[in-house]
Amino acid sequence: MRELKLSALAFGLLLFLVVAGWGYAQGTSLPLIDILGQPENAPPEAYLYVSVVDPETGRFIEGL
């Protein structure tokens, strides 16, 4: 019974360390936003073209 408790404790600790490590894998820098051209602000339709770039990879972030 003692071995089962120790195994469960070791598994729980390992699981906690793996899950907590994912939080440290997140990037710390914010995406870069470029405004493309002049904003169109004539009512009733106003729009602005932007591109969002991930500074870690230098690639565009699509679908925003």
Q: What is the pLDDT of residues 1-45, one digit of tens each?
A: 888 889 999 999 988 887 776 666 666 677 888 888 888 888 888
Does the pTM of the predicted model rise above 0.75? no
Q: Are the CB atoms for 18 and 11 separated by under 8 Å?
A: no
d(CA 25, CA 21): 7
Tokens of 5: 């408790």
- pLDDT in the model for residue 9: 92
- pLDDT in the model for residue 35: 84
- pLDDT in the model for residue 8: 92
d(CA 42, CA 23): 43
Query: In this predicted model, which residue has the larger pLDDT, 61 or 28?
Result: 61
Q: Are the CB atoms for 55 and 32 separated by under 8 Å?
A: yes
The single residue listed with the structure tokens 């939080």 is 23
- pLDDT in the model for residue 19: 79
DSSP annotation of 6:
H
